[in-house]
Structure 1
């Protein structure tokens, strides 16, 4: 039996021949790479939870350091790692985007607790500082392209994780960056202080924060910039048509942003996105 890993989503397939299509992300056979038995440790390695940080009411970050203390593979901004957990005797694998600046001596994943999410609930409730997790090397092809065009990073909810890494990577490049974040309110506003620090240190970075249901204590102009959702009208009025667009979030958010962007940009190759879970055609209603 042979093993193949999908370079797009991290799915590991066991069989005699490379699969024609990934059952998770629908990538073709050319996106699979064979993993040989003597490279088994190359799939999952043991990392210790160095820090566990509660970002807000729903998101917790896990800072992971190699037990072997080897130099980490530098991830490309936007990539993810696969995390393998044994829960009640069953191995469960999930993919989580790396949310920190590439080149650090740790990996950071930021996990939203989903009430019906077996693994996310386990990480939040049962994994603590000092515990050991098995993780893969960074994978995925949702990464920044070389470009000097304005960079527009857009996220909905926990979709901020890959674009946060992109923000770190691009912030000192000098290119114009517009960082658009859509969240419910301050209780779910992830990386608020980190983003403010990046903006303060880099005058090429502009943020636009949308709260759809602000709390009574949330102040427009202080905690957020816009009430409601990222509308087609706002996109047409506020974003450069010659930019490079990267976005991630819930499927409804993704479809909305995709349709809005196709109305204003002529170069469709400038529209880049990542779907959490099985791939989907964002042009379908």
Structure 2
């Protein structure tokens, strides 16, 4: 059971490659919803895609400031990923699809005294709109704004021209270089906020450095685009005593999808391990949980008392308690 969503018919208006691995799509709603809703920085769209012949949902950050006619998203092709990017890259101009949104699990606070935006690779997508929204405000008020943009090569610097136009020298590219989060955080004034979007190792480094700095946890805001985990995907066994179920989750299927296919209702939304709606209690574990979420704290992961069904996997077998409760 997914969180409530309103679906809109849409069409691929156009697309173009920003880098050798990143493609931007302009998506136009059709019919009664032909006017694009205004969206805040950090918002995303959900899309219904056919992934290897199966209908699945994927979420993509909305890029840049809205123009009232189309939504923009950018998708990095990952040939060894879960298939969503390959499905997107097969789409052509005029292809129709269903979208839901915009939604925002990564909101921007306009009242901070200073900002540090940190993007890693395709993590630039939600941060471009934030940079554009903050650039003028910060310049007028004298507040500090900087962006660090980590990429593996200059060729992968998507939206570099747009970022330089709005940020100028406040943009710093870290090409094939690790970002020193400890030093960057130490240079921030009290009350500053840091917004991070990128791969999980970058996010983990940012979180650890922020925690070590003693700054308020609420002043670190983050979003990730996925975690491939510590182990290669493999089949694992799941027991649900409340439903008298004993099922096997295939290597190419998420735990959440396997539960839904078995008739177990599980609430979900982001399907990226961020919102925590799909967390389930772990009753017993024979093996190891490969936590692939960013919702649970490091302490919670070590306890292995909960897992996020949308992304996390198990090496071995696990006994879970579903969120289902019979009517009183």
TM-score band by shorter chain is: 0.7 to 0.9
Tell me, in whole angstroms, the C-alpha distance in 2 between the residues paired with 1:271 and 1:96: 21
CA contact (8 A) 1:242 1:265 kept: no
Q: Partner of 2:206: helix, strand, or coil?
A: helix
Gaps of 5+ in 2: 226-271, 274-292, 303-328
Q: Deviations over 1:44-78 (max 9, x none)?
A: 21212112010101110101111226322211210
Q: Displacement of 1:210 after TM fit? A: 0.3
CA contact (8 A) 1:255 1:282 kept: no
Structure 1 unaligned residues grouped into runs of 5+: 6-33, 36-41, 213-227
From 100, 112, 137, the equivalent of 2:101 is: 137
Deviation of 1:229 (Å): 0.8
Shift of the 275–230 alpha-carbon distance from structure 1 to 2, 3 Å rule, reads same
Written as runs of structure 1 = structure 2, the 5 A alignment for 1:71-220 is 71-87=35-51, 89-102=53-66, 104-117=68-81, 118-124=83-89, 126-174=90-138, 175-200=143-168, 206-212=170-176
Aligned pairs for 1:62-73 (under 5 A) are 62-68=25-31, 70-73=34-37
Structure 1 distance, partners of 2:170, 2:207, is 21
Residue in 2 that maps onto 1:261? 210
In structure 2, the CA distance between the partners of 1:236 and 1:95, relative to structure 1 (3 Å rule), is closer
Q: How many residues align?
A: 228
TM superposition shift of 1:275: 2.7
The structure that is strand-richer by fraction is: 2
Q: Distance in 2 between matches of 1:267 and 1:87?
A: 40
What do the CA deviations read for 1:142-181 (whole angstroms, capped 9, x no partner)?
1112314111111111111111121122222134211111
Q: State the TM-score, normalized to the length of structure 2.
A: 0.64
Tell me: higher relative CO, structure 1 or 2? Use CA pairs within 8 A at least 6 residues apart.
Answer: 1
Contact 2:19 2:156 in 1 (8 A): yes
Q: Deviations over 1:93-112 (max 9, x none)?
A: 11111112145421111000
Normalised by the size of structure 1, how large is the TM-score?
Answer: 0.73
| Alpha-carbon RMSD | 2.2
